[in-house]
Amino acid sequence: MSESESPAKVEIYTKWGCGFCSRAKALLASKAVEFEEIDITMGGPKRDEMLARACGGTTVPQIFISGVHVGGSDDLATLNRTGKLDMLLGR
């Protein structure tokens, strides 16, 4: 990666005790991807933010890569299986 390139910004909205959230975070960790975890367990403005960004998606996790909504845990796994996740991450 050149100095002008920066890694993709990965954001993941999660709730405490969510198995799908754990699975998505484990996949990202296995690829050594740093991510910002946004905990919406207690609801509030961050949950409202997630709903707006995810076009009404109410389940967690909701994952964004460089501002693009990629969906949830199963969607992330599909992107990984098809090789598209690395492309989105700029690898």
Residue 4: is its pLDDT beyond 60? no
| pLDDT at residue 46, as a whole number | 96
* CATH class (in words) of the domain with range 10-88: alpha beta
- Nearest CA-CA partner of 59 in 47, 76, 67, 68: 47
Asked if residues 31 and 21 have their Cβ atoms less than 8 Å apart, the reply is no
pLDDT tens digits for 37-91? 999 999 999 999 999 999 878 999 999 999 999 999 999 999 999 999 999 999 8
Tell how strand 10-14 and strand 36-39 pair up: parallel
Q: Return the domain boundaries, the chain.
A: 10-88
**CA–CA gap between residue 5 and residue 66 (Å, rounded):** 13
Residue 27: is its pLDDT beyond 80? yes
- Nearest CA-CA partner of 79 in 64, 57, 59: 64
Asked if residues 46 and 40 have their Cβ atoms less than 8 Å apart, the reply is yes
| pLDDT at residue 6, as a whole number | 57
Handedness of CA 16, 80, 29, 47 (dihedral sign): negative
